[in-house]
Amino acid sequence: MAGNSFGTLYKVTTFGESHGEALGGIIDGCPPGIQLDFEAIEVDMARRKPGQSAIVTQRKEPDSVQFLSGIFEGKTTGTPIGFIIPNTNQKSDDYSHIKDNYRPSHADYVYDQKYGFRDYRGGGRSSARETASRVVAGAIAKQMLPEIKIHAYVSSVGPIHLETPYQELDFSKIESNPVRCPDEKSAAIMEEYIRDIRKQGDTVGGVVSCVIQNVPVGLGEPVFDKLHAELGKAMLSINAVKGFEYGSGFSGSEMKGSEHNDLYNPDGTTKTNLSGGIQGGISNGMDIYFRVAFKPVATIMQTQDSLDNKGNITPMTGKGRHDPCVVPRAVPIVEAMAAIVLADFYLINKTY
């Protein structure tokens, strides 16, 4: 398997299966001298972890990170930061029923085809548990760029959409409810909807929106590594993501140039921001905003046909403790990947 690293200068490499000894990773390229706020890292970990509220999976995983290197007397030393997140709640027997079975819309089948066999315990490497390592790397990236503010939030759950423009939202409300939707009224409806879905033994998708403020002009490289192209890849690499759009996005494709162009103010800011804070792949200092679509979790508590590795169709009922809706826990992951992308381009931009 290739592709377990992300970034060029702020480079994150992760390892770990959902039911192995531990997850973890290495952050190579973090600059020296950053006084780390370990509590802030734990806060982001807690926002991602299972069992945090009634509308997410009830698995108990403490998800505590242990730093093994690259930090001395509380500060980054510039050397690689190695860290592990022990797996403390492995119940491998929960997964024995999928050893020879391919669950619909999971990676089981393609792993067996590609690698010849797989660690069938709980999704192995394809488990979203891998994203815990991303949250660690993202939390440190945020501290590298203290002036940049990244606000991710849930903007839709299934058919329920928050239509309010982000400029009218109060981001301080994001953490006020378990859905992580800053509009409390919408949040309540979404929460109710998720509870219903869970009762049905079903799951539902959603959208995470993200707004990034105070980005300096000049981040991003103009051809293949455009800022929005890396953000898109970063988001699409998160489990269950099906789409990414920034600025005007898909709705921009319906517009005319005379409507879509962002006219300048004398100071270089723009009157409108359909560009989404990026022009030609480079940040222009305006807010960056984008939306990330998540499909419904594939494991449902209903009986569905699966395929076994002999080619037989067999009914299977989901077991274990799974999320009825992934977006509330995806919010810190979206933020983490955004922070990693920005940290990388920030370092690249220092070379000019």
* E strand residue ranges, 53-168: 66-67, 71-72, 75-76, 81-86, 101-102, 149-157, 160-161
Query: Which 39-58 residues touch a second copy, going by CB under 8 A?
Result: none
DSSP single-letter state for residue 249: H
Residue type, 111: Y
Select the span of 37-45, 46-54, 74-82, 144-152 touching a second copy (CB under 8 A): 74-82
Question: Residue 335: how many CB atoms within 10 A of its CB?
Answer: 26
Q: Does 329 bind a second copy (CB under 8 A)?
A: no
Residues with Cβ within 8 Å of 75's Cβ and at least 6 positions away in sequence, in order, are: 32, 33, 34, 35, 36
The verdict on whether residue 280 carries a ligand-binding annotation is yes
Nearest CB to a second copy, comparing residues 178 and 220: 220
Q: What are phi and psi of 114, to 5 degrees?
A: -80, -45
Closer of 150 and 278 to a second copy (Cβ) = 278
127 is in an annotated binding site: yes
CA-based R_g, the chain, Å: 21
Among 202, 213, 287, 320, binds a second copy (CB under 8 A): 202
Helix (H, G, I), strand (E, B) or coil at 113: helix
Unique residue bearing structure tokens 């403490």 = 62
Contact stretch for a second copy (CB under 8 A) within 37-45, 46-54, 135-143, 236-244: 236-244
Using the rule CB under 8 A, is 225 a contact of a second copy?
yes
256 forms part of the interface with a second copy (CB under 8 A): yes
Amino acid of residue 123: G
**Any known ligand binding at 296?**
yes
Residue list 306-325, contact with a second copy (CB under 8 A):
306-307, 311-313
Q: Is 347 in the site for a second copy (CB under 8 A)?
A: yes
CA distances (Å), 316 to each of 101, 102, 185, 204, 304, in order? 9, 10, 37, 19, 5
Query: Residue 101 Cβ, how far from a second copy at the closest point, in Å?
Result: 10
Residue from 47, 48, 49, 118 touching a second copy (CB under 8 A): that is 118
Q: Is 68 left (phi over 0), alpha (psi -120 to 50) or beta?
A: alpha
Residues 6+ apart with CB under 8 A from 144: 10, 30, 31, 34, 343, 346
Among 44, 183, 245, 335, binds a second copy (CB under 8 A): 245
74 binds a second copy (CB under 8 A): no
Q: Does 305 bind a second copy (CB under 8 A)?
A: yes
Who's near 237: CB < 8 A, 6+ residues apart? 6, 337
The only residue of 42, 46, 80, 94 in contact with a second copy, by rule CB under 8 A: 80
Could you say which of 34, 46, 67, 321 contacts a second copy (CB under 8 A)?
A: 67
Please provide the distance, in angstroms rounded to a whole number, between the alpha carbons at the two ends of the chain: 34
Q: Which residue among 56, 162, 194, 197 contacts a second copy (CB under 8 A)? A: 197
Q: Is 193 in the site for a second copy (CB under 8 A)?
A: no
Pick out residues in 142-181 that bind a second copy (CB under 8 A): 156, 158-159
Q: How many residues bind a second copy (CB under 8 A)?
A: 146
Q: Is 35 in the site for a second copy (CB under 8 A)?
A: no
Q: What is the DSSP letter of 314?
A: E
Phi then psi dihedrals of residue 66, to 5 deg:
-115, 120
Judged by CB under 8 A, the chain residues 98 through 117 that form the site for a second copy are 102, 104-107, 109-111, 113-117
Stretch 264-303 residues interacting with a second copy (CB under 8 A): 264-268, 270, 274-276, 279-284, 291, 293-300, 302
Indicate which single residue of 244, 330, 333, 335 sits in contact with a second copy (rule: CB under 8 A).
Answer: 244
- Output the smallest distance, CB 27 to a second copy, in A: 9
CA dist 280 and 165 (Å) reads 24
In this complex, which beta carbon is closest to a second copy, that of residue 114 or of residue 170? 114
156: annotated binding-site residue?
Answer: no
Q: Which residues are annotated as a binding site for FMN?
A: 125-127, 239-240, 280, 295-299, 321
